[in-house]
Chain A
Amino acid sequence: MNDIDQIFQKRLSNASVTPPPFVWDGVERELRKKRRRSIFWWSLGLGMLLGVASLTWFGFSKTTPTRHTSTPLTLTANTPSNETHLKVKKAPNVAPLTPNTKQKNTAENQAFNHVLSTKNGLVAPNTSILPPISSPYPTPSEGLPKQNQAGQQSSDAPTFTTSSRVTSPQPLSGTAVSDNPPSFVLASATQQYAALKPLHSSFTLLKSKMAIVNTQKWQQKIIRKKKETDTKCYNFESHANAWLFDAYTGPLYAQKSLSTGSNPENKTYHDLRWNTESHRGLGFTAGARASLLVKQHFSVGTGIDYQQFTEIFSYEKPLYIQVLIDPNTGDTLDLDIVTQRFKQYSRFGFVNIPFSAGYEIRQGRRGVHLRGGGAINLLFWKNGTMLDQTTLQPAKFDTQDAFRVNAGLSLIGSAQFFLHIQPRTRLFAEPYYQRILKPVTKETYPLQQNYNLIGLRLGLTKIF
């Protein structure tokens, strides 16, 4: 190692110099900020976790349909030219089949398929002639009623009538479905079975089977979707008027504008403030709202809303001049100007009474609720630091006569996107825009400070 290295290492490796006192203040401030941030992120994480957990819980929990189990059920298949009305009775307990009966029914089943496909070319929806693939339910053939010799249906067989020929498959528009696939007898088709038996061909049989299987899959999908919608969505058709209670919270972004108004003499002060303050703030919103939904789609509402956001005030000012003096000679070796940096957080809070009118559009479980209205400010609080208009030095808000006591009226517009997770419960995300109409500063203050707020309300609605 070089001599000079050794000398410097020996002298400086354990050197100690007292740092300026403001360093510790800075450390403390940063630690506080980090602690606050970590609390915020933990709360956000916990909130999201709870949200996901509740979504999972409500979304996947089994709900028992109670409104859709009455018998007999009526399914209506609408066709363009011919309308077929099938009165279907849910099959009572179906006895397990013996191998013989199963074989017999399979033969009948094939015949039915053939009849339907050859006679009409197409098959009716939900005419479960062939067993669905790996269905947990009794096969349709198992559900076929037994006939006595005279061709009469047995007394315990489900009744079924058809008044016209069966035509193309169509989505079901019936208001209800049963849990198990209904089984029934196509009476008219049965009567023609013997006459058409000689025309049996294996090609048409296969074709008709494929058509039926496809129809069943498609049909089951529609039924599942409808069942899901019916069991998780409030029936607004039967309850045209309803109360909606919202509870929400979410992030908030505040955009500040600062102007000299009609007095350009204050430009210097304006620029000083503009350069020492952040132009935007981040915060949160939380609140509760009650709305009356009338005629299924229109709403009026009010509630209570809290918004808070934080801005940063940063300022540098010369603190002292550091002089380096040679102890031996007393000569001044160096002058160093040390600046002190302020970085403080200014907070603004608003308690508002919002009022709104809205219109709701729904499709299945989802929908959009558009709202427009305003908010009356009840409380406007602020705590922070900014440059004083006379001294141009940092000063607390409360020592300056700058802000109004009340922020006044705001205009608000929002679009709420919701999803029913229960018939009477919705989750929603609602982006909104709010414009505070008047400056939050007093008329006597040389500058005008305005705010536009953009937020996202995340919450839950209960319907009563």
Chain B
Amino acid sequence: MNEEALIKACLRGSAQHQRELYERYSGKMFAVCLRYARNSADAADMLQEGFVKVFTKLDQYHFQGSFEGWIRKIMVNTALRTYQRQRFDMEHSGFEVMPDQAVEPDAIARMSEAELLKVIAQLPDGYRVIFNLVAIEGYSHAEVAQTLGIQESTSRSQLTKARRWLCDQLESIK
């Protein structure tokens, strides 16, 4: 069944097709959630909440643009809202200029996706969210600042610290 037909079947409320749609995208979306969550239980909660939103707001998808991108955006927003609810605090605002640390690409290449996710999960909340949004999702610092209600300089600072933290971690694993 193609994507459009599947979405239309879900819109009609077919539980069987909802399950099919879930199975088609849940793996990728769970990986997204794992990147934002502190642990797999939190990620599972995010995934559940996100998919409930997907099915209840499905009528707002107008078959324009990538459906996977639409779901991913819902998951990211759900994750962000979860952490805003938990009132995570950015450590401090202010921009610190730090040299980029060189990372040996082979060290990362040898690691599995699960290991990389594990490393990201160990990042402090503030670092993790900003690293995910900027480095992996491709949001600009201005967008991140607007979404999280922080200053752009804070976003930059957190990203820099996240990178350094990751490099240290990867070095220690290596």
B52 within 8 A of A: yes
Neighbouring A residues of B136 by C-beta, 8 Å: 5, 8-9, 12-13
The residue of chain B having its C-beta at the shortest distance from the C-beta of A5 within the complex is B135
Interface-lining segment among A103-111, A334-342, A403-411: A334-342
CB pair A12–B117 under 8 Å, yes or no, is yes
- Chain B contacts with A in 96-116, Cβ cutoff 8 A: 100-103, 105, 108-110, 112-116
The count of residues in chain A whose C-beta lies closer than 8 Å to any C-beta of chain B is: 37
- Chain A contacts with B in 294-342, Cβ cutoff 8 A: 322, 324, 326-328, 333-334, 336, 338-339
B94 within 8 A of A: no
How many angstroms between the C-alpha atoms of A12 and B100 in the bound complex? 21
The contact size tier of chain B is 35 or more
Q: How far is the CB of B78 from chain A (nearest CB, A)?
A: 13
CB pair B28–A4 under 8 Å, yes or no, is no
CB pair A15–B163 under 8 Å, yes or no, is no
Partner of B117, one of A9, A15, A19: A15
- Chain A contacts with B in 15-34, Cβ cutoff 8 A: 15-20, 22-24, 26-28, 30-31, 34
Neighbouring A residues of B31 by C-beta, 8 Å: 12, 15-17
B39 within 8 A of A: yes
B44 within 8 A of A: yes
How many angstroms between the C-alpha atoms of A12 and B163 in the bound complex? 15
Q: How far is the CB of B135 from chain A (nearest CB, A)?
A: 4
A7 within 8 A of B: yes
How many angstroms between the C-alpha atoms of A328 and B113 in the bound complex? 13
Q: A12-B117, A17-B34, A333-B115 are in contact. Are A30 and B103 (CB under 8 A)?
A: no
Neighbouring A residues of B115 by C-beta, 8 Å: 324, 326, 333
CB pair A4–B163 under 8 Å, yes or no, is yes
Neighbouring B residues of A28 by C-beta, 8 Å: 15
The residue of chain A having its C-beta at the shortest distance from the C-beta of B134 within the complex is A5
How many angstroms between the C-alpha atoms of A338 and B174 in the bound complex? 28
CB pair B56–A12 under 8 Å, yes or no, is no
The residue of chain B having its C-beta at the shortest distance from the C-beta of A337 within the complex is B41
CB pair A27–B30 under 8 Å, yes or no, is no
Q: How far is the CB of A314 from chain B (nearest CB, A)?
A: 14
Q: How far is the CB of A32 from chain B (nearest CB, A)?
A: 9
Neighbouring A residues of B102 by C-beta, 8 Å: 3
0/1 per residue, B30-53, Cβ < 8 Å to A?
A: 110011000111011001100110
Q: A2-B100, A2-B135, A4-B166 are in contact. Are A11 and B48 (CB under 8 A)?
A: no
CB pair A8–B116 under 8 Å, yes or no, is yes
B19 within 8 A of A: yes
B55 within 8 A of A: yes
CB pair B113–A11 under 8 Å, yes or no, is yes
CB pair A11–B116 under 8 Å, yes or no, is yes
How many angstroms between the C-alpha atoms of A324 and B40 in the bound complex? 11
The residue of chain A having its C-beta at the shortest distance from the C-beta of B110 within the complex is A328
A14 within 8 A of B: yes
Residue among A8, A324, A328 with max Cβ neighbours from chain B (10 Å): A8
Partner of A24, one of B19, B28, B131, B163: B19
Partner of A7, one of B27, B48, B105: B105
CB pair B114–A17 under 8 Å, yes or no, is yes
Neighbouring A residues of B151 by C-beta, 8 Å: none
Neighbouring A residues of B114 by C-beta, 8 Å: 17, 324
Partner of A17, one of B100, B117, B131, B166: B117
0/1 per residue, B107-149, Cβ < 8 Å to A?
A: 0111011111110100000000001001110100000000000
Neighbouring B residues of A12 by C-beta, 8 Å: 31, 35, 113, 116-117, 120, 136
The residue of chain B having its C-beta at the shortest distance from the C-beta of A38 within the complex is B56
Partner of A27, one of B34, B40, B55, B138: B55
- Chain A contacts with B in 97-130, Cβ cutoff 8 A: none
The residue of chain B having its C-beta at the shortest distance from the C-beta of A3 within the complex is B103
CB pair B167–A17 under 8 Å, yes or no, is no
How many angstroms between the C-alpha atoms of A297 and B107 in the bound complex? 91
Neighbouring B residues of A13 by C-beta, 8 Å: 136
B153 within 8 A of A: no
How many angstroms between the C-alpha atoms of A16 and B51 in the bound complex? 16
Neighbouring B residues of A339 by C-beta, 8 Å: 41
How many angstroms between the C-alpha atoms of A18 and B34 in the bound complex? 11
Neighbouring B residues of A322 by C-beta, 8 Å: 40
CB pair B52–A31 under 8 Å, yes or no, is yes
Partner of B47, one of A2, A9, A23, A327: A23
Q: How far is the CB of B139 from chain A (nearest CB, A)?
A: 12
Neighbouring A residues of B51 by C-beta, 8 Å: 23, 27
Neighbouring B residues of A9 by C-beta, 8 Å: 135-136, 138
- Chain B contacts with A in 61-108, Cβ cutoff 8 A: 100-103, 105, 108
Q: A17-B27, A34-B52, A336-B39 are in contact. Are A23 and B135 (CB under 8 A)?
A: no
The residue of chain B having its C-beta at the shortest distance from the C-beta of A319 within the complex is B41
- Chain A contacts with B in 398-421, Cβ cutoff 8 A: none
CB pair B118–A324 under 8 Å, yes or no, is yes
Neighbouring B residues of A4 by C-beta, 8 Å: 101, 103, 108, 135, 163, 166-167
Neighbouring B residues of A14 by C-beta, 8 Å: 28
CB pair A16–B117 under 8 Å, yes or no, is no
Neighbouring A residues of B138 by C-beta, 8 Å: 9
Partner of B108, one of A7, A20, A22: A7
Q: How far is the CB of B137 from chain A (nearest CB, A)?
A: 8
CB pair A19–B47 under 8 Å, yes or no, is yes
In the assembled complex, 8 residue pairs joining A and B whose CB atoms fall closer than 8 Å, in A order, are A1-B135, A7-B108, A7-B109, A8-B108, A9-B136, A14-B28, A15-B116, A17-B34
Given A13-B136, A19-B43, A26-B48, 11 additional A-B pairs, CB 8 A: A2-B163, A5-B136, A9-B136, A9-B138, A19-B27, A27-B48, A27-B52, A34-B56, A338-B41, A338-B44, A339-B41
The 6 closest A-B pairs by CB, nearest first: A16-B27, A5-B135, A19-B30, A15-B31, A26-B48, A30-B52
